[in-house]
Chains A and B, each alone.
Chain A
Amino acid sequence: MKMVKRALATGAAFLIGSTPAMAAWSDLDLRVGVTEISREIHGLHTLILWICVVIAVAVFGVMIYSIATFRKSKGAVPATFDHNTTAEIVWTVIPVLILVGMAIPAARTLVRIDDSSGSELTIKATGYQWKWQYEYVGQGVSFYSSLAQESNFARQLDSGVDPATVQNYLLDVDRPLVVPQGVKVRVLVTSADVIHSWWVPDFAIKKDAIPGYVNELWFKAEKTGTYRGQCVELCGRDHGFMPIVVEVKPRADFDAWLEAQKAAAQAAAAPSTKVAMNSDEPAALRVAVAE
């Protein structure tokens, strides 16, 4: 009953256009993002979308014209032609040319995305059912990042909590990944159990986290802020509940943050728990000790 009420309320709000989620109506297109690559990808997306729109207008235009004009009810007499070699060559060759026109900028972007050289910071992201672990390689800083408590409570079956009242529902974590602004960050993506996938839409980068593989991606965020994404490879029951949150801080703030983390890690690395901080240990052991 509560659910029905809520559905009605949402439905009513939806009709009169006053829900807080109303901003979503403007989210019809891919976001531009905050990296050079994301802008380039957005540009490619826009280019191809418009090519498709132009072709669609032409092709659908001919279809609609035919449907409107050549009607039996209007006494149309069918023509008898059943092929036209010239037309057939034209509509085979023109698409090829259009495709070549699309392929060239696409290939160029692909090559740029592939080049992860010159990164200044390497972070290893490991997927677990159902959380992420981030390790600042060579810095001795490592932590888990799980769905924030508030979201986790609200998302339980019939929790009675209206998701609209939860800040960043399902897109918030207890400990976000922190990276510096304007620095090429390389992320090594892997998994400790099943396949996950690491994606932050604003960085326009997505890579699968696969056990036994170390995949590589990179980004260079130009603006500070908090960027949110989710695991995008079905990874079991709580696949929908392992978000990715990245905080981009100015370089100096980031350095200060990292120093604080290092200090905290060293303080925590008392002999009894040392094994827990040794990232070379098998994942299962680390989890067992850490918990």
Chain B
Amino acid sequence: MSTTHTHAHGAAHEHHDDHGPAKGIGRWLFSTNHKDIGTMYLVFSLVMFLVGGAMAMVIRAELFMPGMQLVDPGFFNTMTTVHALIMVFGAVMPATVGLANWMIPMQIGAPDMALPRMNNFSFWLLVAAFSLLILSMFMPGGGPASGWTLYPPLVLQTGDALPLAIFAIHLAGASSIMGSINIIVTIMNLRAPGMTLLKMPLFVWTWLITAYLLIAVMPVFAGAVTMLLTDHFFHTTFFAASGGGDPVLYQHVFWFFGHPEVYIMILPAFGIVSEIIPTFSRKALFGYDAMVYATASIAFLSFIVWAHHMFTVGMPLSGEMFFMLSTMLIAVPTGVKVFNWTATMWKGSLSFEPPMLFSLAFLFLFTIGGFSGLMMAIAPVDFQYHDTYFIVAHFHYVLVPGAVFAIMAGVYYWLPKWTGHMYSMRLAKTHFWASAIFVNVLFFPQHFLGLAGMPRRIPDYSTQFADWNMVSSIGGFGFGLSQLLFVVLIWQCVRGGARASQVVWDDARTHGLEWTVPSPAPYHTFEEAPVIK
């Protein structure tokens, strides 16, 4: 494998290829550099994670004990709605796009993303989108309060916030589509010689599949919300029964987007974990091909399971049967992944640096989310779980100690490569243990609440639910505060610290091209493609 060539060696390149970062704010506003844009995505998602997290704190504070103490029920609904929209579209997705921007070119030996200007545009659109979404909370009539699923007819009761929120979704969707096109074009065209598809790192694979999912479903979502807009402003009745429309149609269209969306958030996480576990097990990933095929199967199945979110809408028996069985099938490829990660560790030589700790927590806790997912797939039993805290526990398990922990694992894994500095291991481990413990205190009791019959999205509850809600809230505050350690750690690592070596992690060199470039990674890498044997 080749190392990078500096300008002095790369005489064949045009001169302007070699300049360093521009000075001042222009570097960020007009950047076409995948590393700068990746950084902006990651910083943006961290800010959104904190904003969405603050909203979660409001929710957990109100739910700390029975009775209404802090907020109006309408504002509570705005908090649950905007918390979800921000976490899904503003925190998790941009974080994985940021990692893709940084790592995909470096992992496939490409000099940059294939479409750098579009890359810049897709990032800045996201900023516009979330400015609008946050502005929508201050509109007359209150912020969006119909849940992130925006079900009509309820969503049509939104005040002036509705067009802002919908336009925000349009912009965020356009940003995602452009980002996906960029990723696909980059992977298809800019791989280094010898980097065949089945030699690509798993992170690249999972993102390639994710990008196709995004392109397939984002326009569907855009269509659904556009119909909401015309129903509200132009007197169409796509979703209004009184005019011959159908409120359930919206749910079908939404979840045709919404279920693949779940995998859009988790597949890159699978990729990250598949990078990290082999490195810290000092052993190749077990069943690489099976991992790729399992990812592709999950992606395919994600298109035919959507109505398991709608078991209670009154579908015909055949529909319930189909969606129950297809949903259960997802357990097979997901199981293959969990078994393969476990087999990767089997007879390895494990060490427990922060990226590995987060990946291990992912492995255990995502699997718990998988189990509750399997339980919910069983339609007749889902009649009891549906729209209760059991569901809230389930999707937070797969998204927080699932997707978010994997993203944090990725940040801990690659941060020294990005900054050239090692971070404080002590602080990182403190962050890990605090997060891993509190996340369970926060979400595990929600299983009990759901089974005991507590509906989701309620601002106040019957006194029988008091105890576990208080436990959950304490976990929530602990988890929220723990994340400030993460911010401090990143800040410190960017500012300074022990120099990171080129391979950073003992034995990482065998696990990807990114470890063949210096730390910090130069502003331009692989201007001359490495050759993969």
B317 neighbours in A (Cβ, 8 Å)? 110-111, 114
Q: Which chain B residues lie closer than 8 Å to A162 at the CB level? A: 67
Which residues on B sit within 8 Å (CB–CB) of A6? 65, 67
Could you tell me which residues of chain A, from 82 to 101, have a CB within 8 Å of some CB in chain B? 82-84, 87-88, 91-92, 95-96, 99
Q: Which residue of B lies closest to A65 (CB)?
A: B346
Report if A261 contacts B (CB, 8 A): no
In this complex, the member of B367, B386, B453 whose beta carbon has the largest number of chain A beta carbons within 10 angstroms is B453
Q: Pick the contact of A14: B154, B281, B467 (CB < 8 A).
A: B467
Q: Is the CB of B350 within 8 A of A72?
A: yes
Interchain CA distance A195-B66 in the complex, whole Å = 25
Query: Across the two chains, which residue of chain B brings its CB closest to A189?
Result: B314
Known A-B contacts A10-B466, A21-B466, A78-B348; A109 and B380 likewise in contact (beta carbons under 8 Å): yes
Question: Do B384 and A110 touch across chains, with their CB atoms under 8 A apart?
Answer: no
CB atoms of A103 and B314 under 8 A apart: no
Residue among B146, B286, B463 making CB contact with A163, cutoff 8 Å = B463
Assess the B350–A67 pair: CB atoms within 8 A: yes
Interface flag for B457 (CB, 8 Å): yes
Shortest distance in angstroms between A145's beta carbon and chain B's nearest beta carbon?
Answer: 17
Once A194-B154, A210-B247 are accepted as A-B contacts, the answer to whether A164 and B386 lie under 8 Å apart by CB is no
When the two chains form their complex, are residues B151 and A195 in contact, meaning their CB atoms are under 8 A apart?
yes
Interface residue? A236 (CB, 8 A): yes
**Alpha-carbon separation in the docked complex, A24 to B467 (Å):** 7
Q: Give the contacts of B451-485 with A (CB-CB under 8 A).
A: 451-453, 455-468, 470
- The reply to whether the CB of A257 lies closer than 8 angstroms to some CB of chain B is no
Q: For the complex, is A135 an interface residue (Cβ under 8 Å from B)?
A: no
Question: What 0/1 pattern do residues 46 to 89 of A give for CB contact below 8 A with B?
Answer: 00110010011001101100110011110011111111100110
Which of A117-125, A225-233, A247-255 lies at the interface? A225-233
- Do the beta carbons of A236 and B387 come within 8 Å of each other? no
A229 & B364 in contact (Cβ 8 Å cutoff): no
Category for how many chain A residues contact B = 35 or more
* CB–CB B66/A238 < 8 A: no
Cβ of B153 < 8 Å from any Cβ of A? Answer: yes
* Inter-subunit contact A41/B328 (CB<8 Å): no
* B345 in contact with A70 (CB, 8 Å): yes
Kindly list chain A residues whose C-beta atoms are within 8 Å of the C-beta of B290: 83, 88
Q: Does B527 sit at the interface, judged by CB under 8 A?
A: no
Report chain A residues within 8 Å CB of B346.
Answer: 62, 66, 70, 79
Stretch at the interface among A179-187, A211-219, A262-270: A211-219
Q: Within residues 20 to 56 of chain A, which ones have a CB less than 8 A from any CB in chain B?
A: 20-25, 27-31, 40-41, 44-45, 48-49, 52, 55-56
Could you tell me the distance between the alpha carbons of A156 and B288 in the complex, rounded to whole angstroms?
57
B196 within 8 A of A: no
Q: How far is the CB of A246 from chain B (nearest CB, A)?
A: 14
Cβ contacts under 8 Å, A91 to chain B: 335-336, 339
A211 near B387: Cβ-Cβ < 8 Å: no
What CA separation (Å) do A7 and B142 show in the bound complex? Answer: 29
Contact present for B375 and A110 (CB under 8 Å): no
Contact of A80 among B283, B462, B466 (CB under 8 A): B283
Complex CA gap A27/B470 in Å reads 15
A27: B residues at CB distance < 8 A = 448, 451-452, 464
Question: Among B113-121, B163-171, B257-265, B319-327, which stretch is in contact with chain A?
Answer: B319-327
Contact A78 B281 (CB under 8 A): yes
Q: Select one of B336, B367, B375, B452 contacting A92, CB under 8 A.
A: B336
Inter-chain contacts of A236 with B (CB < 8 A):
74, 77, 145-146, 154, 157
Give the shortest distance, in Å, between A89 (CB) and chain B (any CB).
10
Contact of B325 with A76 in the complex, beta carbons under 8 Å: no
Binds B, one of A136-144, A165-173, A272-280: A165-173
Assess A213 versus B248: contact at CB under 8 Å? Given A31-B453, A48-B374, A113-B383: yes
The 0/1 profile, CB within 8 Å of A marked 1, for residues 322-362 of chain B is 00110011011001101110110111111100000000100
Given the interface pairs A28-B448, A233-B387, the reply to whether A19 lies near B64 with Cβ below 8 Å is no
Assuming A66-B345, A83-B290, is B378 touching A232 (CB within 8 A)? no
Instruction: Flag whether A205 is at the interface (Cβ < 8 A).
Output: yes
Q: Is B388 an interface residue (CB 8 A)?
A: yes
Task: Confirm or deny: B285 has a beta carbon within 8 angstroms of a beta carbon on chain A.
Answer: yes
A271 smallest CB distance to B (angstroms): 30
Question: CB distance A67 to B451 under 8 Å?
Answer: no
Chain B window 256-294, contacts with chain A (Cβ cutoff 8 Å), 1 for yes, 0 for no: 000000000000000000000000011111111110000
The verdict on B313 contacting chain A, using a C-beta distance below 8 Å, is yes
Determine whether B379 belongs to the interface, using a CB cutoff of 8 Å to chain A.
Answer: yes
A195 to chain B, nearest CB (A): 6
> Is B338 touching A102 in the complex (CB atoms < 8 A)?
no
Q: How close is A284's CB to chain B, nearest CB, in angstroms?
A: 11
Q: Contacting B463 at CB < 8 Å: which of A87, A113, A169?
A: A169
Query: Which of B313, B324, B351 makes the CB contact (< 8 A) with A208?
Result: B313
Are B66 and A78 touching (Cβ within 8 A)? Answer: no
Give the shortest distance, in Å, between B262 (CB) and chain A (any CB).
19
Q: Is the CB of B74 within 8 A of A237?
A: yes
In the complex, the answer to whether A210 meets B331 with C-beta atoms within 8 Å is: no
Contact among B77, B321, B364 for A237, CB-based, below 8 A: B77
Nearest A-chain residue to B288, judged by Cβ: A82
Pairwise interchain contact B384-A206, C-beta atoms closer than 8 A: yes
Determine whether the beta carbon of A41 is less than 8 Å from that of B351: no
B68 interface residue, CB < 8 Å from A? yes
B342 in contact with A30 (CB, 8 Å): no
**Cβ distance B165 to chain A, nearest Cβ, rounded Å:** 15
Q: A21 contacts B345, CB within 8 Å?
A: no
Contact B287 A82 (CB under 8 A): yes
B339 contact set on A, CB distance < 8 A: 59, 87-88, 91
Known: A106-B379, A158-B68. A59 touches B367 (CB 8 A): yes
Cβ 8 A contact of B383, one of A83, A111, A206:
A206
CB–CB A106/B348 < 8 A: no
- With the chains together, A129 CA to B154 CA distance in Å? 10
In Å, the complex CA distance between A70 and B347 comes to: 6
A154 is an interface residue with CB less than 8 A from chain B:
yes
Are A195 and B453 neighbours in the complex by a CB distance under 8 Å? no
Closest B residue, CB atoms, query A204: B384
The closest CB in chain A to the CB of B146 belongs to A234
Give the complex CA separation of A103 and B468 in angstroms.
Answer: 32
Q: Across the interface, do A204 and B383 meet the contact criterion of CB distance under 8 Å? A: yes
Is A289 close to B, CB under 8 A? no
6 A-B pairs (CB sep. < 8 Å): A10-B470, A25-B467, A82-B284, A110-B321, A240-B458, A241-B460
Known: A103-B325, A163-B66, A204-B384. 13 other contacts (CB 8 A): A24-B452, A28-B452, A62-B346, A66-B350, A67-B350, A70-B347, A82-B284, A155-B460, A164-B466, A194-B157, A211-B153, A232-B456, A237-B74
Instruction: Mark B residues whose CB is within 8 Å of A.
Output: 64-69, 71-74, 77, 145-147, 151, 153-154, 157, 241-242, 246-248, 281-290, 312-314, 317, 320-321, 324-325, 328-329, 331-332, 335-336, 338-340, 342-343, 345-351, 360, 363-364, 367-368, 371, 374-375, 378-381, 383-384, 386-388, 448, 451-453, 455-468, 470
State the 9 A-B residue pairs at the shortest beta-carbon distance, nearest first.
A212-B241, A240-B458, A215-B314, A79-B347, A163-B66, A27-B452, A82-B284, A232-B387, A52-B371
**Using a CB–CB distance below 8 Å, which chain A residues touch chain B?**
3, 6-7, 10-11, 14, 19-25, 27-31, 40-41, 44-45, 48-49, 52, 55-56, 59-60, 62-63, 66-67, 70-73, 76-84, 87-88, 91-92, 95-96, 99, 102-103, 106-107, 109-111, 113-114, 154-159, 161-164, 168-171, 193-195, 197, 199, 201, 204-208, 210-213, 215-216, 229-241
